[in-house]
Amino acid sequence: MDYAFDHAQHDRAAHLRKDDAWRAADVDTRVLVIGGEHVATVGGQGLRWVTMSEAPEGDWIFLGIKHDVRYAAVVVQTVAPELEPVSLRVLGPSITPDEASLAVHAVGIARWHQIHRHCARCGSVTNIVEAGHQRLCPVCGAHHFPRTDPAVIMLITDDQDRAVLGRQPSWPEGRFSTLAGFVEPGETLDDAVRREVMEEVGLQVGEVEYAGSQPWPFPSSLMLGFFGKALTSDITVDQDEIAEAHWFTREEVTEMTASSELLLPPNVSISRWLLQQWHGGTIHGTWA
């Protein structure tokens, strides 16, 4: 797989989270400064790592170890302008997979802390424990864990091996992507794929095959990619989530992306990767 955020995971070294054990060792730790989805950068291109003594006041997250180096993040309200903050969403394509795995971990947890300060059970303000990976309620004792919301994203093909792509109402003409949606409680992933495709474009889906996943911490999704086979071919668009959807052959994708009639998702996305796997040839350009 060659989409970003894959196959470059750091060792999360969870055994060092308790009692701030990760801080105790006499080792250099590289620190990423984060505010919301904005991270410190060097010239807006790569991540900027500072030492622990250079880092501003904030909430600490221990990220783990990569190539014998320890990594942490410090979460602040707003990243200072001299640290050249950029949204990870924008920065994504220009950083290495190594850096991406650290950055999505850090931003995912930072955003969770930002909006989960109070206990969901009793409403008290909770404390950060486990090096940023839990919040503990001092009043009722409840443990709260960072949330990850599973979402399915699927490339659906028909018996002629055409792919169905949809355009969301807010997107400009010509911009299309694979279908996607959140998994609901009590639902298997396969059923979520079938339900979302039925809701969005009215197609019945049979066989579903898992293809790979991508963390998407804006704010807390895990995108689970699938290939699926449609049992029907008549598209009925649900005007709420999808403005238009069509079947595309490989030749149409090749020609229409070359002429910019069709704009597909950026290279870092799992959507693009699913499309590329199906297409097998050159797909031109992106909407980014």
**Is 2 strand, coil or helix?**
coil
The least CB distance from residue 113 to Zn ion, in Å, is 16
64-68: list long-range contacts, CB under 8 Å, 24+ apart. 64/10, 64/11, 64/12, 64/13, 64/102, 64/105, 65/10, 65/11, 65/13, 66/10, 66/11, 66/98, 66/102
Interface pick for Zn ion out of 142, 222, 237, 288 (rule CB under 5 A): 142
Site for Zn ion in 86-125 (CB under 5 A): 119, 121-122, 124
Size of the site for Zn ion (CB under 5 A): 8
Phi, psi values for residue 32, rounded to 5°: -100, 130
Judged by CB under 5 A, does residue 137 bind Zn ion?
yes
Report the amino acid identity of residue 275: L
| Residue 136: CB minimum distance to Zn ion, A | 9
Q: What are phi and psi of 62, to 5 degrees?
A: -90, 125
Question: By rule CB under 5 A, what string of x and - marks binding of each residue 213-252 to Zn ion?
Answer: ----------------------------------------
Cα 73-22-135 angle, rounded to 5 deg: 65
Pick the piece of the chain touching Zn ion (CB under 5 A) from 39-47, 93-101, 132-140, 228-236.
Answer: 132-140
Whether residue 41 contacts residue 91, with contact meaning beta carbons closer than 8 Å, is answered with yes
Residue 144 or 229: which CB sits closer to Zn ion?
Answer: 144
Stretch that binds Zn ion, among 77-85, 138-146, 170-178, 258-266 (CB under 5 A): 138-146
Q: With respect to Zn ion, which residue has the nearer C-beta, 80 or 140?
A: 140
Distance CA 94, CA 89 (A): 10
- Binding residues for Zn ion, rule: CB under 5 A, are 119, 121-122, 124, 137, 139-140, 142
